[in-house]
Amino acid sequence: MNFLVTFSDIFKSSFLENVKEFSVIDTLIGMLFALVIGLFVFLVYKKTFSGVMYSTGFAMALIGLSLVTTLVIMAVTSNVVLSLGMVGALSIVRFRAAIKEPMEIVFLFWSLAAGIVIGAGMIPLAVIGSVIIGVVLILISNRKYRNTPYILIVSCADEKAEENALSLIGQSVDRFLVKSKTVSTAGIELTAEIRIKNEATGFVNRVQDIAGVSEATLVMFNGEYMA
């Protein structure tokens, strides 16, 4: 019994007959639109980023994700058997990359959705949908909020310094809320969420000048601060 398989046998196999013929021009057009929309997602992410540290690798991955997804969907739609095998193959893939910002999930799904829609041949839907999503995200990111949230950390030597610091803070900001208070042999540490207008942070200098206050730190609150 001869188990050797030649190239002639491969081309005679019915496997290739089950693969739907695809157009090279359609493939190039689809990949081109995937690249353009991937670049658009990349630019919107760069424009609207408001986190602590910008990741160039993640931004570039958005472009690659759009292209790869488009290629996969094109292959899946060409053959039913191949689509079942692709589902099984992708089910064993595990992603371990940590998501640092909640908005990164939006951009990941955006790139995936764009690739799926383009790969399915619905290019106008991908273009119109991407434009709408991009405009909405840019408008939301550029919105000016009435009050900017900050976290103020004040180190006091005693209760008198604490009272004076809280009194000055209450007079200088729109509103504030003490989030935590730590008392130790070294003194008292207060952590308060404050709301200020027009980025007026000069009051921090006056808090520092209060007798008994050794340190005053102001940081922008992004929902991830841990006291």
Q: How far is CA 72 from CA 85, 198, 216, in A?
A: 12, 49, 54
Residue 79 C-beta-side C-alpha neighbours within 13 Å: 16
SS3 state at 220 = strand
Indicate where the chain has its CATH 3.30.70.260 domain(s): 148-220
In this prediction, residue 126 carries a pLDDT of 92
Q: Report pLDDT digits (tens) over 46-60.
A: 888 876 677 788 888
In this prediction, residue 14 carries a pLDDT of 52
Q: How far apart are CA 209 and CA 4, in angstroms?
A: 88
In this prediction, residue 133 carries a pLDDT of 93
Q: Does the model's pTM come out above 0.85?
A: no
CATH number of this structure's domain 148-220: 3.30.70.260
Is residue 71 over pLDDT 80? yes
In this prediction, residue 89 carries a pLDDT of 55
Is residue 114 over pLDDT 90? yes
